[in-house]
Chains A and B, each alone.
Chain A
């Protein structure tokens, strides 16, 4: 089967790749472009470790075909930090012990970023809803929820 050309922006950089027709965005990002932040977990849309943002919306990289991303803007957890300066969400995850094994963290961060970009001052219920599609087997979720709320508070304080 002929490979297909796809162009999109990945964390602000224009990228052009040839992909298999039924190749997932996760496969293209990891194997084709070498960004290993989004992980492969269940491959069923259940665990959320492959969560990336496509045009600002959370998407599951494992269920998104690369050919459907032509001309889109893709964000992964690799693009969060500004050089040595962590994104407020990353800093909050660190301060609140929101990562243990770390496998879910890139997906959690992107799900949280999608929420805060749309709703800078979410309630606890809204945070829980935002990460409802992301499974964590280590933390029991509370530190993650607290970290996201803290990041929102910090961003709000910075704006004030």
Chain B
């Protein structure tokens, strides 16, 4: 049976189909699933195209930001309210990819892809999920990513997070061998809120340093309550590799990723451009 495409209006209906049909997958922009069809990886099953306007909603003006899962990287780049996410969005493919690549799709992108998810992870994002025919529920992104490997996550309708305190509170770097566009060697996102000159509630996330984007909790512990000086940065670099499981692929070896991660983390924390 070839691949079928089914257009559904509501998220509930789409979530119900996803729960009852193991061969069904939600189609976002298509940059992952249509590639699988082109390469013969996906030869049968159903692609669900949900056209619910909720998926394209953007609430960006207040302290709490909510982005529909169907919002594209180009839409993020066009938003003046989301400058802290522009570097992460610009890191996703070229312009023709960014007009179709969605936030929701990025949440399911296999390593070394998923750089935008790395940024969301450092913003302590939560996802609104529809699973089965029941109602929506909110789940921390970190939990959703842990569940992702087991499958059956459900339908992600939106992501939400608090706006970073200041322009310098959120930093992102994507390390690639080809500029301006290339697949990640790794990416790092850092949310560094400060209270009285000391870091309070730091969130550091890595992309391409494990099977999914992951939090660098050892680095977060090192940063907590300290000023961002040379000694703190050196301590953070020493803790940088804890919990990482990078892979060897066509872009970089596991060894190389481990070697360069502390260097780029140090530069990011010091406010230097990589």
Contacts and interface: CB of A to CB of B under 8 A. Distances in A.
A35 interface: no
B227 interface: no
A72 to B, nearest CB: 12
Contacts of A65: 5, 27, 30, 34, 47, 49
Nearest to B43: A22
Contact of A64 (B39, B47, B100): B100
Interface string B1-32: 11111010000000000000000000101110
Given A65-B5, A67-B7, A68-B49, A132 B95 contact: yes
B2 A45 contact: no
A114 B94 CA distance: 13
A65 B25 CA distance: 15
A40 to B, nearest CB: 9
A67 B4 CA distance: 11
A94 interface: no
A43 B35 contact: yes
- Contact residue range for chain B? 20 to 34
B49 A45 contact: no
B93 interface: yes
B94 A134 contact: yes
B4 A1 contact: yes
B97 A111 contact: no
A54 B99 CA distance: 10
Interface of B: 1-5, 7, 27, 29-31, 34-35, 37-39, 47, 49, 74, 93-97, 99-100, 180-181
26 contacts: A1-B2, A21-B2, A21-B3, A22-B4, A22-B37, A22-B47, A24-B34, A24-B38, A48-B96, A58-B95, A59-B99, A60-B96, A60-B100, A62-B34, A63-B31, A63-B34, A63-B100, A64-B100, A65-B30, A65-B34, A67-B49, A128-B180, A129-B180, A130-B95, A131-B94, A133-B94
Interface of A: 1, 4, 20-22, 24, 43-45, 48, 51, 54, 57-60, 62-65, 67-68, 111, 114-115, 128-134
